[in-house]
Amino acid sequence: MTWPPLSDIRLGRFLAEPGRRWYEVRVMSAEQPSAPGEPSAAPHTATDESNEPREVARYDHLEVERRWQQYWDEHETFRAVRESGSTRPKRYVLDMFPYPSGDGLHVGHPEGYTATDILARYWRMKGMDVLHPMGWDAFGLPAEQYAIKTGTHPAETTAKNIGTFKRQLKMLGFSFDWSREVATTDPRYVRWTQWIFVQLFKKGLAYQDEVTVNWCPELGTVLANEEVIDGKSEVGGHPVERVPLRQWMLRITAYADRLASDLEHVDWPSGTLAMQRAWIGRSEGATISFTVDGYSGGALEVFTTRPDTLMGVTYVVLAPEHPIADWLIKTPGIASDERREAAQKYVAATINRSDRDRLASAAKEKTGVDTGLLATHPITGAKVPVWIADYVLGGYGTGAVMAVPGHDERDFAFAKVHGLPVVEVVSPDGELHGALEAAFTSDGTAVQSGEFDGLTTEACKRAVIDKLKSLGRGDGQVSYKLRDWVFSRQRYWGEPIPIYFPVELESPDGDPRKGAPHRVRFDQPIAVDEAELPLTLPELSDFRPGNDPAGPLARAVDWRFFQKDGRWYARETNTMPQWAGSCWYYLRFIDPLNDAEIFSQKAYDAWMPVDLYIGGAEHAVLHLLYARFWHKVLYDMGRVKHPEPFTKLVHQGMILGEDGEKMSKSRGNVVNPDDIVRAWGADTLRLYEMFMGPLEAVKPWQSGQIQGVVRFRDRVHAICTKPLSDALPDETARLLHRTVKKVTHDLDAMSFNTVISTLMIFTNHLAPQASPPREAVEKLILLVSPFAPHIGEELWRLSGHEASLAYEPWPTWDEALCVDDVIEVPVQVNGKVRGRISLNKDATEAQAREAALENVASAVAGKQIKKFIYVPGKIANIVVG
């Protein structure tokens, strides 16, 4: 089809296909920009073969979306305000704020943001005060690594990346209150992160210890177990060593019991609750003391949840990191040279592997070495061999286990591989069963257990603990898998830890900045005065960490060393982990500009706790656990009034690439939202991501399906720009009220895909109408607007309303119009469904009988009707003979 040049026409008709179709076109002058509320492009009217005119709307998504985003910015439409003493309900809806990487967003990132934005807009229209903020988790290793590679300061890189992310989020029309924007790198924010650390230090919850950590010489920092894969760093793939280092630790274990028990009070996904509980690992059992021949360093302690199986111990296992393993290797004559050499090689081969790697390999192969040492059973006095095996971790429990292969699957598998005895001491029926083919791990009756024979598992547990207590060789105990949080990082781009130490100089007039011999008294830490916070990072031209455990800040000697009251001091050169800033950002959002205190109680009372928190399941353990820990510390200080910060938690599902794989640059399957918005608009992207399936589901991106929501958006625009009627036909009224009800209920259930399906059905009903009802059209605009806010605002203005619809009351429904007058009832013949009939809901039994017999006439032909049973509105059953 060849279109005439637009310069040749203002309003006219031309024949595009001779003999078939005429078009009428109206063109707006390009010199007359549209103001908010005016159509961005005039519609054109077409006539089909019947020569009946129809309106074909044009929708310029780029112009409309840009204009309304500018309007929202200029008017601060979404600024969160809650008056003192407000009786309006409030909603604090929060996203897990992003780390602003250099790659910007891909289409998987906005899924959760879109969901929270839909609800924030919906709740505002429901008459609620809504806080919907956004900020940046901006410290971290990736920015530092980029700085090292490019020579660009991480502050510069971070600022640039934040700019990209913010542009993309605004492009998508999210209704964030940008006046509350925070970045964890902002000194005003760093001040209060450091303030929290000082409180932890004062309460004895932040302390120093020498612990075995994952040290990466290439990255020059300590890595968490989760950041080490197959003995190499997750970032860069560099070799990782297990070495003892002085570290700042946070005593999260002091809150282990509350972190576990308080999960009963939150509405979180069951899988996340299970992961949190497993990570905390609360166990009730007993600590038991064995003695090791020749070892004078104290008893060998183990923790077990099954003290009733103590009489079935056939060997003891040490972690490669255990002090007794180190003593064995370093002490000649304790065991044979062959045993010591074997132990030394095994420890060297396993000790540098991460806990995660060791547990994964232990599931496949049961490696270990017999030390030649013997341990004494605490009750029987029998001697059992001591082994070293990597399936026991030094960081969990006591770093040693009593092995009961008859009643522990892992011990059973290990015993079978290494030919160790398997003894049955718990029987399901009180009888002996000879050679066990598998470990029996359930409760039962004690057998082959001496004085404990015949006791049930629970009774045996109590009896064994009582016996151990009487002998001074054990006691009942609650234990946790959770270990204190290693908080130090030996890198530049992080919050400085606000601690300093006295410096002892060999010469009284020496200057440590100039290399004068000195000693830093790490055993005498001093907190920076709160009035002197924030302690900011020094300027460094070289961010490389090097192989110095003190970290790159140690090179900033003019920053590190300072004098106070005539004495020299040295600042802590370790920085905080990226987790620190993200532990408490939800609290700063409520009062981000407060320089007098971390937040005011007025702001806290107005907005806390967080009503809805949406983010990826990858943060199900560590971020959520650390945030809950800091919150509970603040709770004990009286700074917060709720024991848990996040009332409801939802994890959005991952959006995969079109190839069904996780989106990544290396796979080449990343879809850039800029491209989608440019081609189809932000509203289309929002609609499509919510229409793909349930929010929590994993689903692949499919570009071919975008046209479906484009057609829906354009259909809404076409319907709402037609001449409107004041009449509301009964059929449309009923469907309208049912639509409002279902959309509202599905929004409350966060079933976004079914909302869109419901709206599609309603638009299909309205589309053929030449003059759709004004009430139906205006309510459609309001229902669509949380999902597609730009076109919602545009159509609301075109329908004659001056104000933004952001705070327009949400539509309501008449329940009477939602009740079906006609119901469908199945018809059974001798108990089998043979047909279905439509009846008035008030139909009599006689009317139901007549309709049912007519419906299944062929099934009852020639047969005697013995009985007719009608359950109103449920079923009709005909019994024939």
Buried b (16+ CB within 10 A) or exposed e, 398-415: bbbbbbbbbbbebbbbbb
Q: Distance between CA 735 and CA 550 in Å, rounded? A: 70
Whole-number Cα distances in Å, 557 to 338, 517, 560, 566, 573: 50, 14, 5, 18, 10
Distant-in-sequence, close-in-space partners of 182: CB < 8 Å, separation ≥ 6: 133, 135, 136, 189, 585, 588, 589, 592
Tell me the torsion sign for CA atoms 120, 124, 130, 132. Answer: positive
Q: Distance between CA 459 and CA 449 in Å, rounded? A: 13
Tell me the torsion sign for CA atoms 726, 732, 735, 738. Answer: positive
Q: Which two tokens stand for residue 659?
A: 């190839």
Give the end-to-end CA distance of the chain in Å, rounded to a whole number. 69
Q: Distance between CA 200 and CA 185 in Å, rounded? A: 20
Establish whether 665 is an annotated binding residue: yes
The residue type found at 741 is K
Percentages of the chain per state (helix, strand, coil), in multiples of 5: 40, 20, 40
The residue type found at 400 is A
Nearest alpha carbon to residue 420 among 431, 408, 429 = 408
φ and ψ of 623, to 5 deg: -55, -50
How many CA atoms are closer than 13 Å to the CA of 437, on its beta-carbon side? 0
Cis peptide bond N-terminal to 534, omega within 30:
yes
Locus of tokens 């895909």:
753
Q: Distance between CA 240 and CA 229 in Å, rounded? A: 9
796, containing H or E segment: helix 789-798
Phi-psi map region of 5: left, alpha, beta (phi>0 left; psi -120 to 50 alpha): beta
The residue type found at 275 is M
Q: What is the crossing angle of helices 673-680 and 61-75, to 10°?
A: 110
370, containing H or E segment: strand 369-376
Q: What is the crossing angle of helices 706-720 and 789-798, to 10°?
A: 10
Phi-psi map region of 255: left, alpha, beta (phi>0 left; psi -120 to 50 alpha): alpha
Q: Is 427 helix (H, G, I), strand (E, B) or coil?
A: strand
Annotated binding site for ATP: 665
| Residue list, annotated binding site | 665
